[in-house]
């Protein structure tokens, strides 16, 4: 984490996977944290242990509710807007809520930052690049997104949110930044959220076939959650407006990922191929030169270490 310390931070979606790790890291650095989450996809269990710590407050509220956002205790100098269903299973189940939090929720969080004079960071996503025609994807690439496809509610929600953040910065002078987060993995992911790592780990630990979409030749560049949090906070501590890509540098096929998880778990699971989702990206790897040059950031946790930590967490959770 950057050496910068904030006095008080607001984290929307703070009971979610990445959001809860951000809350913990900020508390460790001495920052007071207000975590806002409606628990539509987040879990109070992700932050339950933080409630006994000085400076932490959990508020069950929806970022799309302007009264709730205005009613929060003031004095924030950092606002991290991470509220949004982020996995295919969630945003396909909650399409209108996903669009609402990208539009109204983003505007409410921006207003909170403007009123308090806070630094604002939007959690955007590699999904703004869609099924990319350029590889690797750099921040200047405009993407290849199907605006009416099944994934569009998430893709377009984030693309609109980026436009809204840019307009707010232009019109009101709000101190904003946009981080485009690529596929992140680690402890506190949910087994049923449809993403590859938690799905494969849960299946391997249970001895079930690993369900690989298509022929598994599509690629991903995963980043361990601690590294993602480092990147987000480095951007927050900088003067960069972004967007800035934060993601892993090692590209791997989904089939290779499945085999690696079987090996690390010692499972006897086999591979079962299933239909590939519509608009599923064929290749995904970030160009992270901007993050390296401007933020001094690069991933530090290698594949084996990150997957072993993640598998260990899932095994302990299953045994609890």
Tell me what pLDDT residue 1 has: 43
Tell me what pLDDT residue 65 has: 98
| 222 contacts: CB under 8 Å, gap ≥ 6 | 182, 183, 184, 185, 197, 247, 248, 250, 252, 257, 303, 306
The first and second tokens of residue 279, run together, are 């608009």
Backbone angles phi, psi at 232, to 5 degrees: -60, -45
Residue in the block written with tokens 């449809």: 194
Tell me what pLDDT residue 250 has: 85
pLDDT by 10-residue block (mean), the chain, 320 residues? 81 98 97 98 96 96 97 93 93 95 98 97 96 93 92 95 98 98 95 89 96 93 96 98 94 94 95 88 91 97 93 91
For residue 138, the SS3 value is coil
- Distance, CA of 293 to CA of 160 (rounded, Å): 27
pTM: 0.95
CATH of domain 8-188+223-249+280-300: 3.40.50.720
The three state secondary structure string of 271-308 is: EEEECCCCCCCCCCCECCHHHHHHHCCCCCCCHHHHHH
Catalytic residues: 154
Tell me what pLDDT residue 298 has: 96
Please compute, for residue 58, the number of CA atoms within 13 A of its CA located in the half-sphere on the CB side: 24
Q: Please state, in angstroms and as integers, the Cα–Cα distance from residue 274 to each residue in 213, 262, 269, following that order.
A: 5, 18, 15
- Distance, CA of 283 to CA of 78 (rounded, Å): 34
- Distance, CA of 185 to CA of 41 (rounded, Å): 16
């Amino acid at each position: 984490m950057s050496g910068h310390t904030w006095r008080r931070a607001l984290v929307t979606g703070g009971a979610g996977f990445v959001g809860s790790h951000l809350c913990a890291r900020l508390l460790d650095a001495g920052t007071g944290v207000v975590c806002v989450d409606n628990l539509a996809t987040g879990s109070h269990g992700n932050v339950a242990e933080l409630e006994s710590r000085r400076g932490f407050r959990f508020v069950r509220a929806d970022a799309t509710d302007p009264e709730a956002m205005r009613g929060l205790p003031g004095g924030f100098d950092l606002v991290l807007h991470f509220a949004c269903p982020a996995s295919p299973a969630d945003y396909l189940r909650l399409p209108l809520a996903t669009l609402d939090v990208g539009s109204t929720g983003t505007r409410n969080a921006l207003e909170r930052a403007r009123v308090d004079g806070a630094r604002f960071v939007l959690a955007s996503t590699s999904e703004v690049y869609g099924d990319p025609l350029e590889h690797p994807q750099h921040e200047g690439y405009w993407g290849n997104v199907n605006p009416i496809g099944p994934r569009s509610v998430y893709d377009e929600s984030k693309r609109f949110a980026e436009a809204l953040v840019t307009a707010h910065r232009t019109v009101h002078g709000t101190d904003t930044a946009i981080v485009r987060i690529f596929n992140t993995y680690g402890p506190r992911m949910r087994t049923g959220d449809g993403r590859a790592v938690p799905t494969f780990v849960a299946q391997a630990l249970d001895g079930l076939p690993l369900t690989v979409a298509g022929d598994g030749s599509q690629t991903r560049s995963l980043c361990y959650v601690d590294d993602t949090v480092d990147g987000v906070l480095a951007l927050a501590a900088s003067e960069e407006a972004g967007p800035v890509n934060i993601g892993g540098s090692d590209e791997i096929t989904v089939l290779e990922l499945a085999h690696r998880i079987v090996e690390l778990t010692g499972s006897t699971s086999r591979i079962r191929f299933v239909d590939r989702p519509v608009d599923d990206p064929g290749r995904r790897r970030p160009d992270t030169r901007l993050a390296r040059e401007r933020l001094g950031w690069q991933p530090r946790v290698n594949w084996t270490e990150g997957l072993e930590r993640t598998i260990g967490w899932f095994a302990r959770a299953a045994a609890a």
